[in-house]
């Protein structure tokens, strides 16, 4: 073979070898190209978690390499515990299944719930869309309780989605720590169904009403006096609806305050998004980066404004740090915190 022909042949071989290598490298740079990412929402349609997750789904794919379709799906059950168990144990570990559930669900293993089949610290935490404030509200019916003080005089019935939800746990804390006369009825699919039950008179009120949900779904009820907000929980407080006392104002000792803190500090994780454990680090970092970019995107923020949801993001790393803080609480405080919710 002549020299020039031999050189051309070698060049052809090198190019042929390079083409498969480049093709094989493409999925690494766009791992979600042609894929669909599902967001499993731990509550039924129409509630706050549903509204947040669907807003995320409308924009998230624009910031993920490969621009996958992002599909929100409702998986209600046990106060969102069903969705958390699914994501931890059954979902594929490739980043194509994410979950959105209550902050209280994250705490269920620490609170001794043997139905919580997960280790919260091992989820692939993407971040939280909002650091929220939670309220208990009472629907105004003739002769029914209409203030926090009334809850210490007459039995007040609250509706709830399930024992892992704050709509169940927060009323029990008011009962078992502060001494309010409270009963909780479970089985509702979410806050939307509890709201309807309040209007029908089946229950007196609901806890776990987030500031963001009130603004997006119940604002007219509050402004027109049908729904009275009687107490607020969490490290943050607000006077946006007028003066509403904080649960911490009623703590009678430092120990009670720490029990309340263990329960209500979790509200900083108002709208968490998580992947299964053992997602490859590069995939998790890709999703975290896309999440942060989505939360700061002008088009997404305008969409959030239109559906009346607040965005106050928490990074995945910050979620992990908060969970480490929870694990460091003294055993005696954890034991009393469990007792506060009947565990």
Cβ contacts of 276 within 8 Å, gap of 6 or more: 87, 88, 91, 92, 93, 97, 123, 124
- pTM attached to this predicted model: 0.74
Q: How many residues does the chain have?
A: 343
* CATH topology agreement for domains 36-132+268-340 and 134-266: yes
Whether 212 contacts 173, CB under 8 Å:
no
Q: Which two tokens stand for residue 262?
A: 């263990």
**Distance from CA of residue 254 to its chain's centroid?**
28
What CATH number labels 36-132+268-340? 3.40.190.150
Mean pLDDT of the chain, nearest integer = 89
Does position 20 have pLDDT exceeding 50, yes or no? no
pLDDT tens digits, 224-270: 999 999 999 988 899 999 999 999 999 999 999 999 999 998 888 88
Delimit the domains of the chain by residue range.
36-132+268-340, 134-266
Q: With cut-offs at 50, 70 and 90, classify the pLDDT of residue 161.
A: confident
Q: Which two tokens stand for residue 186?
A: 């479970």
Mean pLDDT of 303-327: 91
pLDDT of residue 213: 82
Mean pLDDT of 317-339: 92
The 10 Å Cβ neighbour count of residue 114 is: 7
pLDDT tens digits, 204-228: 999 989 888 888 888 999 999 999 9
What CATH number labels 134-266? 3.40.190.10
Q: Which two tokens stand for residue 99?
A: 């979950």
Q: Which two tokens stand for residue 189?
A: 């699919």
């Amino acid at each position: 073979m002549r020299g020039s022909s031999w050189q051309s042949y070698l060049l052809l071989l090198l190019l042929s070898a390079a083409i498969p290598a480049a093709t094989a490298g493409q999925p690494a740079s766009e791992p979600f190209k042609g894929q669909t990412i599902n967001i499993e929402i731990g509550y039924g349609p129409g509630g706050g978690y549903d509204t947040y997750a669907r807003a995320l789904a409308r924009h998230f794919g624009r910031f993920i390499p490969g621009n996958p379709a992002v599909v929100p799906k409702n998986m209600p059950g046990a106060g969102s515990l069903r969705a958390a168990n699914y994501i931890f144990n059954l979902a594929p570990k490739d980043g194509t299944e994410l979950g959105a559930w209550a902050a209280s669900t994250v705490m269920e293993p620490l609170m001794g719930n043997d139905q919580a089949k997960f280790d919260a610290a091992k989820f692939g935490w993407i971040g939280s869309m909002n650091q929220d404030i939670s309220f208990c509200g009472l629907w105004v019916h003739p002769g029914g309780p209409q203030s926090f003080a009334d809850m210490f005089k007459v039995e007040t019935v609250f509706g709830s989605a399930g024992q892992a939800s704050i709509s169940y746990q927060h009323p029990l804390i008011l009962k078992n720590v502060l001494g309010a006369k409270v009963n909780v009825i479970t089985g509702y699919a979410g806050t939307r169904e509890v709201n309807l039950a309040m209007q029908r008179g089946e229950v007196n009120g609901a806890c776990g009403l987030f500031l963001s949900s009130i603004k997006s779904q119940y604002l007219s009820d509050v402004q027109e006096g049908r729904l009275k907000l009687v107490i607020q929980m969490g490290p943050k407080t607000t006077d946006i609806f007028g003066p509403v006392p904080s649960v911490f104002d009623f703590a009678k000792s430092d120990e009670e305050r720490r029990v309340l803190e263990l329960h209500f500090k979790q509200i900083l994780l108002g709208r968490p998004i998580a992947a299964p454990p053992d997602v490859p680090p590069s995939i998790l970092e890709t999703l975290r980066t896309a999440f942060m970019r989505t939360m700061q995107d002008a088009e997404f923020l305008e969409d959030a404004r239109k559906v009346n949801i607040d965005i106050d993001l928490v990074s995945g790393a910050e979620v992990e740090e908060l969970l480490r803080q929870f694990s460091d609480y003294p055993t005696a405080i954890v034991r009393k915190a469990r007792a506060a919710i009947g565990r």
